[in-house]
Structure 1
Amino acid sequence: MDLGPEGDLSAPGFGPRDENRSGTTSRPFRLKRVPKAFRAGGDWKEWFVTVDNSKGSRAESYILVLTVFSGRAASEDTHVQVFLQGAWHDAPVVGVTPDGHDPTFLLSPVLYVPVGRTDVRVRARFGAGAPAEAVRLEVKGVNIDPTVPVGAASRIARSKIVRDGTPGTPGTPGIVGVAGRAAEARPDGGPDTKSDG
């Protein structure tokens, strides 16, 4: 799938350092109700990707992808689905790092966004083999309207994977991040999850 130079999944400007970055598009994306944690081997956890076209004068169309940055979780332990046309659908993996981590999932090859705000339901779960670690969820959208200058935007939210009996689980002293360092936990079991919504 050719996204073009501005929408290339590996293009500069769309890496993990560019939090809350907006490109040339004026229609920002938001991630709402992102779970504070996903339990390895646990159930699906759901959140929303919102596309705000409330100030637009016409409908727009986007390619929409989601990258799950973790560091150690294997792509086969990461599962993502998207709710479209009244049903949940498996989101196919369209890219991974050379060592098989940080999978990118295609949420929609053509997402039609009418004037107004559109909420897209997304959910994920991690297999029992996933390690306890911090994760970043990055949604990227590329405007594919040929009459509009190529535009793209991305948003990032933070969460974590927890395991029973490991740091990060309620009742234990902290969480273990990508670098393996324990962080001080709140009484409810972990640090704040930061997201755009």
Structure 2
Amino acid sequence: MTAPARTVADARAWARAGTELVLDAVADLDEAGFRADSALPGWTRGHLASHVAANADALGNLVHWAATGEETPMYASAEARAEGIARGPALSAGELRSWLTASARQLAEGLDTLTDEQWHHPVVTAQGRTVPATELPWMRAREVCVHAVDLATGTAFTDLPDGFLTALADEIRDRRGLAGLPEGPLPEIAAWLSGRPHSLADAPALGPWL
């Protein structure tokens, strides 16, 4: 497997950039705007916004785990995760924006407090993978950057940092077990790999990722 072309500092910078894109994407949405469809089948923008906010809260649980050694899963259960997503349509536009903003800030502040030792403490993801806490900023970067595009308010893969796109493409290629990639611009390759709309000619269809 190819080693990730990223550092913790890289991932934190990409997470900040992605968070700004998400917050910019929803800045002018009213209730009708949040009720509109996102780019993810069956999800409104409100569903997606609450998912991104709940993800920050869930990653905050893993920060607590790394900092204290107290086992704190991302989500109490699959049902609890689904309930977090379902909250979106019940919240006002202002409440959704406040949740997105506050949860992102709290996660960033929690990461700021981790010591060098705590960054290397193992935690368990929602998929059951045991990873060091150094993976948490990358997990957040993926969520906010890709879902900023999925909100379908005008953000595209071309708006995402090149370093992030390279790291994303490397990871998905390896996880999908692909020997090579089609020719084309990096943003289009990343979109194709993640199962999003793209302009690559003759690229085989891939299922959704993330």
TM-score for the superposition, normalised by structure 1 = 0.27
Greater fraction helix: 2
TM-score for the superposition, normalised by structure 2 = 0.26
